[in-house]
Chains A and B, each alone.
Chain A
Amino acid sequence: MQWNWAFVAEITPTLLQGLKLTLLITLLSAIVAAVLGLVFAIARRSPNRLVARPVSFLVEFIRGTPLLVQLYFIFYVLPDIGILLPPLVAGVIGMGLHYATYTAEVYRAGIENVPRGQWEAARATNLTTRQTWVHVIVPQAVPPMIPALANYLIAMFKETPLLSAITVLELMNQAKSVANSSYRYIEPMTMVGVFFLGMSLVSVVILRWLEHRYGRLGK
């Protein structure tokens, strides 16, 4: 089978629509992952063992099992107990939750890197636990970790094709439906690959800039 440029031109608008949804999903799940990851990281450090232990186990469990199965679980099992989610929401929650367990580790490294004196100073100035986290620890722990967090943003972007399995019409699914209706696989699949490669090359440039701007850990 030969490569057909006319066909490529014909399917590009459909694929671009998929790409737009892919970017939207990435952005939304990134927000979920960034927020939830911080919650996990702080909860794991809780002095209350009834909080720290279960959260630790949950994080390890989510990180040790495939995202695809978790997506199936959210999409197929939750409706049985009355929680019916649209595919997009299920996908964003699933991906956000999965990557939150990774960002939690990143935050943990950032938090451990805040000098001990900062904790002691917070105690000495009689700040509450909440105040210590909000005003002292988090503002110092998070900025150095931004490049590492951005790394996971790229990883998430590359995982979005999984959402096609729960019927979200993102880039991969658009390509598949084009391929199935025209019986041509080479162009759609290759184009998806090209889009992904292009996007990750752009994101590498952005990542370099972020590393330059926020600096590496320990510098």
Chain B
Amino acid sequence: MPEWSGYLTLILQGALVTAQLTLFGSVLALLAAFTAGLGRIAPWWPLRWLATLYIEFFRGTSIYVQLFWAYFVLPFMGISLSPLAAGVLALGLNVGAYAAEVVRGAILSVPKDQYEATVALNLTKVQRMRHVILPQALPLMLPTFGNNAIELLKATAVVSLISLTDMTFQAQIVRAQTGSTLVPFAMILLLYFAMALVISTLVRKLERRMTRGLEGVR
């Protein structure tokens, strides 16, 4: 019987890396989503065009290709990224492209008379977004954002292929060293599932908080 406690620590260290990747990736994805989502409905056409290009490009190519490109091709252009940075960059930009469409859809689904009311009340554009549109659009985005975060968590497994020591990578090491396959893989499957459950619970809580006070509005 091998020393399981040592291997357990190894996998838990990997879990930490996976959690980090998910967290940083989500933050970047959120930023990218709002930038591109708002860019797509901007009144200025070059901005719209740029946002569309970004979204179509990142949704059209596979995340693995993007990851490999960030890690293997960018160094040849003089940009050397650590595996973690390459992972966060590719994951964040990829999921951000999907989330950008969610942002756009949610903002456009706010009824038109809300816009007209802000014009009538002489609010500035920033005030309109901050106080009227976003508070109504955010609760619409949240459930899909939750799904996107889970997709991001699942996509982090791929970074093991660019030698980042995440949970999947560590499981492969344990497999190579112990020859046991069932234990490490079953274990990380359960850990991934647990993380996905944490995300969906958090999102549901956040959703409840955000919709507070909105009853009867919609």
Residues on A facing B (Cβ under 8 Å): 1, 61, 64-70, 72-73, 76-77, 80, 158-162, 165, 172, 176, 179, 185-186, 189-190, 192-193, 196-197, 200-201
Contact = CB atoms under 8 A, between A and B. Distances in A.
Interface stretch (B2-10, B115-123, B154-162): B154-162
Contacts of B188: 69
Nearest to A203: B60
B contacts with A: majority SS: helix
B156 A189 contact: no
Contact of A77 (B68, B76, B185, B193): B185
Contact of B69 (A1, A68, A159, A190): A190
Task: Bin the interface of chain B by size.
Answer: 35 or more
Most buried by A among B158, B171, B172: B158
Contacts of B59: 200
A172 B64 contact: yes
Contacts of A73: 185-186, 189
B55 to A, nearest CB: 12
Contacts of B175: 76
B196 A64 contact: yes
Given A77-B185, A189-B73, A200 B61 contact: yes
A45 B192 CA distance: 27
Interface string B155-182: 1111011000000100110010000011
Give 9 nearest A-B pairs by CB, closest first.
A66-B157, A64-B196, A161-B64, A158-B62, A68-B157, A66-B154, A200-B60, A185-B72, A65-B192
B150 interface: yes
25 contacts: A61-B189, A65-B154, A66-B153, A66-B156, A66-B158, A66-B168, A66-B192, A68-B158, A69-B168, A69-B171, A69-B185, A69-B188, A72-B168, A76-B175, A77-B186, A158-B62, A162-B64, A172-B64, A172-B65, A179-B72, A189-B65, A189-B69, A196-B61, A197-B61, A200-B60
B184 to A, nearest CB: 9
Given A69-B185, A69-B192, A172-B64, A64 B197 contact: yes
Given A80-B181, A189-B73, A190-B73, A68 B160 contact: yes
Given A158-B63, A161-B62, A165-B161, A186 B185 contact: no
B168 A65 contact: no
Nearest to B59: A200
Interface in B66-91: 66, 68-69, 72-73, 76
A185 to B, nearest CB: 4
Interface in B135-163: 150, 153-158, 160-161
A61 B63 CA distance: 22
B49 interface: no
Contacts of B45: none
B179 to A, nearest CB: 10
B155 A66 contact: yes
A197 B181 contact: no
Contact of B185 (A76, A189, A193): A76
A61 B197 CA distance: 10
B166 to A, nearest CB: 10
Nearest to B158: A68
B193 A64 contact: yes
A93 B115 CA distance: 50
A76 B171 CA distance: 12
Nearest to A76: B181
Contacts of A193: 61, 65-66, 69
